[in-house]
A = this chain, B = another copy of it.
Amino acid sequence: MNVLPIFWLVPVSAVLALIFAWFFFKQMMKADEGNDTMKKIAMHVRKGANAYLKQQYKVVGIVFIIITIIFSIMAYGLGVQNPWVPFAFLTGGFFSALAGFFGMKTATYASSRAAQAASKSLNDGLRLAFRSGAVMGLVVVGLGLLDISIWFFVLNAVYPVASDTHNLLIITTTMLTFGMGASTQALFARVGGGIFTKAADVGADLVGKVEAGIPEDDPRNPATIADNVGDNVGDVAGMGADLYESYCGSILATAALGAAAFLSQPDQAIKAVMAPMLIAGVGIILSILGIFLVKTKEGATMKNLLNSLGFGVNVSAVLIAIFAFVILWYLHIPNYLGIWASIITGLVSGILIGQSTEYYTASAYKPTKTIAAASQTGPATVIISGVGVGFISTAFPLIIIVIGITLAFLFATGFNFDLANLSHGLYGIGIAAVGMLSTLGITLATDAYGPIADNAGGNAEMSHLGPEVRKRTDALDSLGNTTAATGKGFAIGSAALTALALLAAYIEEVRIMFVKFLDKPMELIDGIPAKDASFINYIHHYEVNLMNPMVIAGVFIGVMAVFLFSGLTMNAVGRAAGKMVDEVRRQFREIAGIMEGKAEPDYARCVAISTKAAQKEMMLPSLLALLIPVIVGLIFGVPGVVGLLVGTITSGFAVAIFMANAGGAWDNAKKYIEEGNYGGKGSPAHKAAVTGDTVGDPFKDTSGPSLNILIKLMSMASVVTVGVAVSYHLF
A378 to chain B, nearest CB (A): 7
- Chain A contact-residue range equals 35 or more
Q: Are A560 and B398 in contact (CB under 8 A)?
A: yes
Q: For window 487-541 of chain A, which residues contact chain B by CB distance below 8 Å? A: 500, 504, 507, 539-541
The CA of A387 and the CA of B275, in the complex, are separated in Å by: 44
Q: A9: CB under 8 A from chain B? A: no
* Segment with Cβ contacts to B, from A30-38, A39-47, A419-427: A419-427
Q: Are B391 and A566 in contact (CB under 8 A)?
A: yes
Task: Fill in one digit per residue for A545-563: 1 if any B CB lies within 8 Å of its CB, else 0.
Answer: 1111111110111111011
Contacting residues, chain B, for A354 (C-beta < 8 A)? none
Q: A177: CB under 8 A from chain B? A: no
A145 to chain B, nearest CB (A): 28
Q: Are A571 and B379 in contact (CB under 8 A)?
A: no
Q: Are A559 and B651 in contact (CB under 8 A)?
A: yes
Q: Are A395 and B560 in contact (CB under 8 A)?
A: yes
From A504, which residue of chain B is reached at the shortest CB distance? Answer: B547
Q: For window 628-655 of chain A, which residues contact chain B by CB distance below 8 Å? A: 642-643, 646-647, 650-651, 653-654
A272 to chain B, nearest CB (A): 18
Q: Are B549 and A401 in contact (CB under 8 A)?
A: no
Q: Are A567 and B392 in contact (CB under 8 A)?
A: yes
Q: A573: CB under 8 A from chain B? A: yes
Q: Are B567 and A388 in contact (CB under 8 A)?
A: yes
8 Å CB contact of A578 from B381, B399, B560: B381
A113 to chain B, nearest CB (A): 34
Q: Are A567 and B654 in contact (CB under 8 A)?
A: no
Contacting residues, chain B, for A698 (C-beta < 8 A)? 384
Known contacts A578-B377, A654-B651; A567 and B389 CB within 8 A of each other: yes
From A692, which residue of chain B is reached at the shortest CB distance? Answer: B380
A582 to chain B, nearest CB (A): 10
Q: Are A642 and B546 in contact (CB under 8 A)?
A: yes
The CA of A202 and the CA of B388, in the complex, are separated in Å by: 15
Known contacts A379-B691, A544-B547; A384 and B552 CB within 8 A of each other: no
8 Å CB contact of A381 from B381, B574, B647: B574
The CA of A519 and the CA of B550, in the complex, are separated in Å by: 34
Contacting residues, chain B, for A694 (C-beta < 8 A)? 380-381, 384
From A537, which residue of chain B is reached at the shortest CB distance? Answer: B541
Contacting residues, chain B, for A542 (C-beta < 8 A)? 419, 540
A527 to chain B, nearest CB (A): 22
Q: Are B378 and A559 in contact (CB under 8 A)?
A: no
Q: A622: CB under 8 A from chain B? A: no
Q: A394: CB under 8 A from chain B? A: yes
Q: A390: CB under 8 A from chain B? A: yes
The CA of A654 and the CA of B566, in the complex, are separated in Å by: 12
From A557, which residue of chain B is reached at the shortest CB distance? Answer: B402
Contacting residues, chain B, for A654 (C-beta < 8 A)? 559-560, 562-563, 651
Contacting residues, chain B, for A690 (C-beta < 8 A)? 380
Q: Are A390 and B567 in contact (CB under 8 A)?
A: yes
Known contacts A552-B405, A646-B546; A417 and B559 CB within 8 A of each other: no
8 Å CB contact of A384 from B540, B546, B574: B574
Task: Fill in one digit per residue for A563-604: 1 if any B CB lies within 8 Å of its CB, else 0.
Answer: 110111011011001100100000000000000000000000
Most chain B CB neighbours (cut-off 10 Å) among A202, A651, A690:
A651
Q: A658: CB under 8 A from chain B? A: yes
Q: Are A570 and B384 in contact (CB under 8 A)?
A: yes
Contacting residues, chain B, for A539 (C-beta < 8 A)? 545, 547
Contacting residues, chain B, for A557 (C-beta < 8 A)? 398-399, 402
Q: A210: CB under 8 A from chain B? A: yes
A110 to chain B, nearest CB (A): 31
8 Å CB contact of A574 from B385, B425, B544, B558: B385
Contacting residues, chain B, for A374 (C-beta < 8 A)? 574, 578
Q: A3: CB under 8 A from chain B? A: no
A714 to chain B, nearest CB (A): 15
Q: Are B409 and A549 in contact (CB under 8 A)?
A: yes
8 Å CB contact of A377 from B206, B389, B571, B658: B206
8 Å CB contact of A547 from B389, B398, B540: B540
8 Å CB contact of A546 from B544, B560, B574, B578: B544
Q: Are B581 and A377 in contact (CB under 8 A)?
A: yes
Q: A146: CB under 8 A from chain B? A: no
8 Å CB contact of A691 from B378, B541, B574, B578: B378
8 Å CB contact of A555 from B388, B391, B578, B646: B646
8 Å CB contact of A551 from B206, B425, B546: B546
Known contacts A390-B567, A542-B419, A643-B546; A553 and B377 CB within 8 A of each other: no
8 Å CB contact of A401 from B545, B556, B571: B556
Known contacts A651-B654, A695-B384; A500 and B552 CB within 8 A of each other: yes
The CA of A395 and the CA of B398, in the complex, are separated in Å by: 24
Q: Are A206 and B378 in contact (CB under 8 A)?
A: yes
Q: Are B383 and A383 in contact (CB under 8 A)?
A: yes
A424 to chain B, nearest CB (A): 12
Contacting residues, chain B, for A553 (C-beta < 8 A)? 402, 405-406
Q: Are B567 and A391 in contact (CB under 8 A)?
A: yes
Q: A429: CB under 8 A from chain B? A: yes
Contacting residues, chain B, for A566 (C-beta < 8 A)? 391
Q: A330: CB under 8 A from chain B? A: no
Most chain B CB neighbours (cut-off 10 Å) among A381, A426, A573:
A381
From A567, which residue of chain B is reached at the shortest CB distance? Answer: B391
Contacting residues, chain B, for A544 (C-beta < 8 A)? 545-547
A370 to chain B, nearest CB (A): 8
The CA of A460 and the CA of B426, in the complex, are separated in Å by: 66
4 more CB-based (< 8 A) A-B contacts, given A379-B691, A384-B570: A398-B557, A540-B545, A545-B545, A545-B546
Task: List 8 A-B pairs, minimum CB-CB distance, nearest first.
Answer: A391-B567, A392-B567, A388-B570, A380-B694, A388-B571, A398-B560, A394-B563, A409-B549
